[in-house]
Amino acid sequence: MIKDIKYFGIDISHLVFDITDSNGNYHQFKNNSSGFKKFVKLLNQQSHCVMEATGYYHYQLAYFLLESGIKVSVENPLAVKRFIQMKLSKIKTDKSDSKLICEYAQKVDLKLWKGNTKDEMECLQITRALSVYTKQSTMLKNKLHGEAVLGEPSKAVVRSLKRSLKQLTKEMKTLEDKLLVLVKQSHQDLLTRLKTIPGIGPKTSIMLVVLTGGFDRFTSAAELCSYAGLTPVIRQSGSSVKGRPRISKIGNQKLRNLLFMCSFNACKYNKACRDLYERIVAKGKSKKLALIAVCNKLLKQAFAIAKSGLIYDKEYKSTLVRNK
């Protein structure tokens, strides 16, 4: 807790947001521009607003406060939930949650939320839409396969499914082209350098840039690996509890899945990754564990390239060379 800072714990829902400040004062406002304007009248340069990342509900308020020059922190809901559980509170209301979020803000080191640019927001929206379309495309392909297995499928059904799949493919191509244009506008050089890493193709390079914000939000490779949920969690207590080390999986699932798919090619074409994989398997460890280690290696290579202005070079000891 920093002296002279007045904290505001905010619990947000679809229609309203509840607020409790560090003096114990409680307020409730509508979750719209009118409510935002009324709330900001309570604030000054010493105010620090803290809220959970609640899907889509927190975005408008967070950006409004940011544009108004107010300090904002958007915290991991799991961290806040654990704090509330530690308080052993038997009351669960929006008002009590805002009070506990305010208490949380006074006990932990908060990171200021910077938000995303307009282009970054559009890239993330396109990525989410592509994820939905990819799942729908897989469902349609599976359905077509299922109809073919019947032996005498309905021609009308098959035609309908094929039309839907064709239209979906067209929409995906349009969004992918738009995404490429947006990423090239701000990260053309980074995109080119990432593609020099064996095992990381053009589409993966684009997704890495989008999902990491061009790597600008991370100060270390370890922080980035933690964000992807690839850091190991060790369960050990005394002499009786010795759980198998596992990755945390508390992080960006999309980024984690993307790297896992890349790890197979990386084991074939990326010397550093292949050597790491073979070394782990030779020790009797599982192949899945070795692939996860390769995911970490790939992410660290990408981070090094992003931060140093270097490109991949398999002959160089550190796998990087100055980009001239």
pLDDT tens profile 222-252: 888 888 888 754 444 444 444 455 555 566 7
Tokens representing 256?
Answer: 């984690």
Nearest residue to 209 via CA among 229, 195, 219, 230: 195
Q: What is the pLDDT of residues 245-288, one digit of tens each?
A: 555 556 678 888 999 999 999 999 999 999 999 999 999 988 98
Phi, psi of 17 (to 5 degrees): -135, 135
Nearest residue to 302 via CA among 223, 221, 226: 221
Give CA–CA dist 294/274, Å, rounded. 8
Q: What is the pLDDT of residue 244?
A: 54
Q: What is the pLDDT of residue 69?
A: 92
Least confident of 176-180, 238-242, 314-318: 238-242
Average pLDDT score over residue span 128-134: 94
Q: What is the pLDDT of residue 90?
A: 65
Enter the pTM of the model.
0.76
In the chain, the percentage of residues whose pLDDT exceeds 70 is: 88
More confident residue, 246 or 189: 189
Helices (H), the chain: 33-40, 59-67, 77-86, 94-107, 118-149, 155-194, 202-212, 221-227, 253-269, 271-282, 287-308
